[in-house]
Amino acid sequence: MAAVQQATNGHCAICETMAQKRQYASLTSLFAQLFIELAEWHSPLYLVIDDYHLITNPVIHESMRFFIRHQPENLTLVVLSRNLPQLGIANLRVRDQLLEIGSQQLAFTHQEAKQFFDCRLSSPIEAAESSRICDDVSGWATALQLIALSARQNTHSAHKSARRLAGINASHLSDYLVDEVLDNVDLATRHFLLKSAILRSMNDALITRVTGEENGQMRLEEIERQGLFLQRMDDTGEWFCYHPLFGNFLRQRCQWELAAELPEIHRAAAESWMAQGFPSEAIHHALAAGDALMLRDILLNHAWSLFNHSELSLLEESLKALPWDSLLENPQLVLLQAWLMQSQHRYGEVNTLLARAEHEIKDIREGTMHAEFNALRAQVAINDGNPDEAERLAKLALEELPPGWFYSRIVATSVLGEVLHCKGELTRSLALMQQTEQMARQHDVWHYALWSLIQQSEILFAQGFLQTAWETQEKAFQLINEQHLEQLPMHEFLVRIRAQLLWAWARLDEAEASARSGIEVLSSYQPQQQLQCLAMLIQCSLARGDLDNARSQLNRLENLLGNGKYHSDWISNANKVRVIYWQMTGDKAAAANWLRHTAKPEFANNHFLQGQWRNIARAQILLGEFESAEIVLEELNENARSLRLMSDLNRNLLLLNQLYWQAGRKSDAQRVLLDALKLANRTGFISHFVIEGEAMAQQLRQLIQLNTLPELEQHRAQRILREINQHHRHKFAHFDENFVERLLNHPEVPELIRTSPLTQREWQVLGLIYSGYSNEQIAGELEVAATTIKTHIRNLYQKLGVAHRQAAVQHAQKLLKMMGYGV
């Protein structure tokens, strides 16, 4: 009443007197009189009742339900409560008379958390750190306040404090939750909270088994109504979980208060999870219970399914918890441990483990397990760059494996496909990879289904079918989303080859985003794993002509190269961007030093080896060793044609073009450039032309001026020229203000230009005409209307004394030659 009186300036005097003298039969009669007096009050009124959860008197609840039913329209009641108040909420909700703001809506967003810390802390923290803290506490405002308090009370910086606290100071949190929550519930509820907290998520069956409560669903809903930090996880209300901070707090208290019972509680949880078909959760509790026998039994029945669903960290932790003798008694678990090592590229450890197991397990060399070991050894061999040994082991495995041993048969088939890929037998390799995908999908071996799709995409790219490679990648991305394979290292492989394809098509921003996405996938792995994506970022910088950025990234790449051991194709890709950078900067010393020490493969029968030999040829061209480079490139082309490595052939032709151009063999240069343009109709290559820079631009201008290119090649040549002009800054380079001033002062300048000089805009238009731009493209480049461009062109034609575009191009070329430019 006092609050209403203050808000209305004493308007409800009768009610105030009744309340002060307690002259009312019941609360409902007092509220009725209040509404009578408020009928004469026409301004909006908000009545806020805080801490409603402290009210336990049922008479008050009933009176408040009367209040809500009869309150005037200009009055809004706001109730703050930690639990669901007994005010007929369900009825209000149905009648759309309720606005609910729950814990999820109250949670801070990343932006709000950053703003909060900026206001509370003396030194700001980075947005990424603020967002991580916000996620750790699920945006709980109280927790964020305690974090800020802890940071202010300690001498640590905000960054160190946030990391050290891992979200919140333990003593602050414990004091708060003990005082505000745990000490305010009865003993039965306290034990329920402590026992149920060992579950990361819970439903009726789990609660019944773990806590002994007869009606688990009803008990969960009661805990939710009491506001004890329990949240629904689905729309059906079947699954619940505690707020992460409250759950962690309860689990710690459970270790203190129920230590003797805890192993049995975890066993009960494991059994319940198994009964519901969730072995990964059951393993979590078997580990917590320290029950090796239960853990072994779960792994024997479910480990391979978990492996196929990429639960690698959980499996590794589980196997470490089992004694070696238990593994020897169950060789399938030894094989599983070896596969885990292989997935982490620990190839030497794989062979050591298998050899030890074969030494200690009687008669294993005569059984099916030996064939499974061989399938794994074959995978290790191909990963370690030994295709001949991989082929031998894979064929042995397929001969010895029974038809039902699907996993190892999938592995061996995939390895044979990779071997054929390495040998350049792309058509047969593609067929085996398609077979691998079909088998893997049939048996839910999702990581091999993904691997086979990635391999298919690489093969199709090598064959020059880039659009089909794109479509195959789309299938792979869909598989990742459907089967939640985002954290697999193979995901990085997929986004990287997508980046390579986007780069080839000159979609540089998208290519860069894909490469950065790959680095993000590998953020928890050793930095050396990021080498390929880093090389891709450098390629993007080189295609843009951004040499400063490329140099900065190259420093990191060269540091990684010096601190790791890599597969030959990784080294080839890294060398590619180094050599292109040296070409662009004219660094002959670096190229010569590299050429003396780099590997020179015995063959060039796959796209990995073709790439390394192309690096060698590019360095030789830079050093003027044209004869040696020509020998290399002619052999590469011969192999590429015989093996149908069409993308490599396209790249080789472009490099051969540069060799002929620099050697002064202009007709040969034009011949192979025409071949490269024709082949690009199949591959879609753009950036491979662009990185050759001005030498390529000059040749394309000449071809466009001749007007003899077929329509597709003409369109591609214009597109490439636009990309070169855009990224390598040639579009106005010959017709800027300084150039024009020097031109007009040149003794041989035509008198017509001296007496009727072009405006600066007309010089720019002439430069774009010379660069091969159409009228529409010039308008877009200069951001003016097409009609304006036509006016500029008409004026400059008149001043130059020419009648058409080709004559204008020839006139511009004469001016450039007069000024000493090689065109």
Domain boundary among 125, 147, 176: 176
Are 113 and 49 in the same domain? no
Domain boundary among 68, 100, 132: 100
305 vs 311: CA distance, rounded Å: 9
Are 607 and 713 in the same domain? yes
Are 91 and 130 in the same domain? no
- Is the whole model's pTM more than 0.85, yes or no? no
Are 707 and 753 in the same domain? no
Radius of gyration of the chain (CA): 37
Is 16 a member of any domain? yes
Is 166 a member of any domain? yes
Query: Looking at residue 108, what DSSP letter applies?
Result: P
Q: What pLDDT, on the 0 to 100 scale, is given for residue 366?
A: 64
Inter-axis angle of helices 292-308 and 331-343, nearest 10? 50
Are 676 and 629 in the same domain? yes
Domain with 167, as residue range(s), is 105-176
Are 609 and 711 in the same domain? yes
Burial class for 101, CB neighbours closer than 10 Å (0-12, 13-18, 19+): exposed
List alpha helices for 181-243, DSSP H: 187-196, 204-211, 216-225
Give 10-residue mean pLDDT values along the chain (823 residues).
81 80 77 83 86 82 85 86 78 78 80 83 77 77 68 51 46 71 86 92 93 89 82 83 84 90 95 94 95 94 86 90 90 91 82 86 74 92 90 94 91 96 94 97 92 97 96 97 87 96 96 94 87 96 89 93 87 95 94 94 87 96 96 95 95 97 95 96 96 91 88 93 72 64 84 82 86 79 87 90 87 82 56
248 vs 34: CA distance, rounded Å: 47
Is 690 a member of any domain? yes
**Following DSSP, what letter does each residue of 300-356 receive, concatenated?**
HHHHHHHHHTT-HHHHHHHHHTS-HHHHHHSHHHHHHHHHHHHHTT-HHHHHHHHHH
Domain boundary among 126, 160, 176: 176
656 C-beta neighbours (distance < 10 Å), count: 26
Calculate the CA 190 to chain-centre distance: 42
Is 663 a member of any domain? yes
Are 683 and 710 in the same domain? yes
Burial class for 484, CB neighbours closer than 10 Å (0-12, 13-18, 19+): exposed
Are 760 and 810 in the same domain? yes
Q: What pLDDT, on the 0 to 100 scale, is given for residue 364?
A: 67
Is 448 a member of any domain? no
Is 62 a member of any domain? yes
Is 189 a member of any domain? no
Q: What pLDDT, on the 0 to 100 scale, is given for residue 413?
A: 97
Are 23 and 83 in the same domain? yes
CB contact at 8 A, 248 and 264: no
Nearest to 609 by CA among 560, 573, 657, 644: 573
Both tokens assigned to 575? 């060398």
Q: What is the dihedral of CA 292, 298, 304, 310, to 10 degrees?
A: -80
Q: How many domains does the chain have?
A: 4
- The CATH number for 765's domain is 3.40.50.2300
- What H or E segment, with its residue span, contains residue 596? helix 588-597
CB contact at 8 A, 681 and 716: yes
Are 699 and 759 in the same domain? no
**Following DSSP, what letter does each residue of 399-410 receive, concatenated?**
HHS-TT-HHHHH
Q: Quick one: three-class SS letters along 630-675?
A: HHHHHHHHHHHHHHCCHHHHHHHHHHHHHHHHHCCCHHHHHHHHHH
Are 708 and 797 in the same domain? no
Is 397 a member of any domain? no
Both tokens assigned to 346? 């620990």
CA dihedral for 759, 765, 767, 770, sign (positive or negative):
negative
Q: What pLDDT, on the 0 to 100 scale, is given for residue 730?
A: 45
Spell out a b/e string for 599-635, using b for 16 or more CB atoms within 10 Å of the CB, else e: eebeebbbbbbbbbbbbbbbbbbbbebbeebbebbee
Are 652 and 757 in the same domain? no
Q: What pLDDT, on the 0 to 100 scale, is given for residue 146?
A: 66
Q: What pLDDT, on the 0 to 100 scale, is given for residue 164?
A: 45
